[in-house]
Amino acid sequence: MRLCVNIDHVATLRQARGEFEPDPITAALICELAGVDGIVCHLREDRRHINDRDVYLLRELVKTKLDLEMSMDPQIVSIACKVKPDLATLVPERRQELTTEGGLDVVKYFERVKEVVEELHSNKIEVSLFVDPVEEQIEAAAEAGADLIEIHTGFYANTISEEEAKEELEKIRYAAKLGKRLNLGVNAGHGLNYLNIIPLREIREIDEVSIGHSIIAKAVFVGLENAVKEMIRLVKGV
Ligand code: PXP
């Protein structure tokens, strides 16, 4: 299983003062030096954390893989086509939300999703769709031409009892197997931390996880390099 680190929260801290520190670019480079497999950032329509300057600089400097999370807004799609990340992950976006709250409804927005996938493909950008672990959504993702899915693990992460966690884990396992059967790459993310990653890493069909908040939160106390290295050990089970 590979680990990609989402650096949005570093930009959130920078925006708290509206100045220059801490710089998410520096964070990306430290994550790479610590051994991550890729960097993730979300250019939101309201630019609440990552901004245009960040994505262009990240494109220039990230040597592993750049995964740009994005909505299907035409202006954002046009920026993605210029930036040319290695991967574009389409997510739903609502202005008022604190963070992404669920998967993209690929069934409902099928025609628009297909159109955006085609536009990104014509710019040689691989496309992942962030979806809930629901059969119809994954089938629609394959039909829309996506290369990968990212399974939303937020419901799993929010469970309280062990029994509930097991149930959600089984949904993720089923979704991951289905994704593989449909020839899709399978990523997973949202709400993953140093504890709930352990049962999840047993799902062999998951190629990659995308983790942000828990790593940046730990980094405040132990430093980014240590926080990243500890998560790499857990994700890889070494
Ligand atoms: N994957 C997607 C699609 C997301 O929107 C987010 C949050 O930005 C993450 C992964 C990372 O979630 P977290 O910050 O909870 O680790």
Interval 188-210: pLDDT, tens? 999 999 999 999 999 999 999 99
> If pLDDT is split at 50, 70 and 90, which confidence band does 238 have?
confident
From 9, 49, 152, 190, active-site residue:
190
CA dist., res. 78 & res. 13, Å (int): 27
Q: Tell me how far apart the alpha carbons of residues 217 and 41 are, in angstroms, rounded to a whole number.
A: 16
pLDDT digits (tens, 9 = 90+) for 37-67: 999 999 999 999 999 999 999 999 999 999 9
What is the CATH architecture of 2-236? Alpha-Beta Barrel (3.20)
How far does residue 20's CA lie from ligand 1's centre (Å)?
A: 23
Cα–Cα distance measured from residue 236 to residue 225, given in angstroms and rounded to the nearest whole number:
16
CA 89 to ligand 1: nearest atom: 3
Is residue 99 predicted with pLDDT exceeding 90? no
State which ligand 1 atom lies nearest to the alpha carbon of 216: 14
What distance in Å separates the CA atoms of residue 130 and residue 145, rounded to the nearest whole number? Answer: 14
- Check 69, 93, 126, 168 and give the catalytic one: 69
How confident is the model over 166-170, as a mean pLDDT? 98
Question: Is 190 marked active-site?
Answer: yes
Mean confidence (pLDDT) of the chain: 96
Within 10 angstroms of residue 221's Cβ, the number of other Cβ atoms is: 8
Instruction: Note the pLDDT of residue 48.
Output: 92
Amino acid at 141: A
Point out the least confidently predicted range of 16-20, 58-62, 168-172. Answer: 16-20
Euclidean distance between CA atoms 90 and 77, whole angstroms: 10
208 φ, ψ (degrees, to nearest 5): -155, 145
Cα dihedral value 202, 206, 208, 214, nearest 10 = -50
Per domain, the residue ranges of the chain are 2-236
Structure tokens at 34: 């610590």
Share of the chain above pLDDT 90, in %: 95
Q: Any residues with Cβ below 6 Å from ligand 1, and which?
A: 6, 8, 42, 69, 89, 91, 99-100, 130, 150, 189-192, 210-214
pTM of the full predicted structure? 0.96
Confidence at residue 101, expressed as pLDDT on a 0 to 100 scale: 74
pLDDT band at 133 (very low <50, low <70, confident <90, very high): very high
User: Which atom number of ligand 1 is nearest to the Cα of residue 100?
Assistant: 5
Say yes or no to pLDDT of 233 above 90: yes
pLDDT of residue 98 exceeding 90, the answer is no
In the block, residue with structure tokens 């520190």:
21
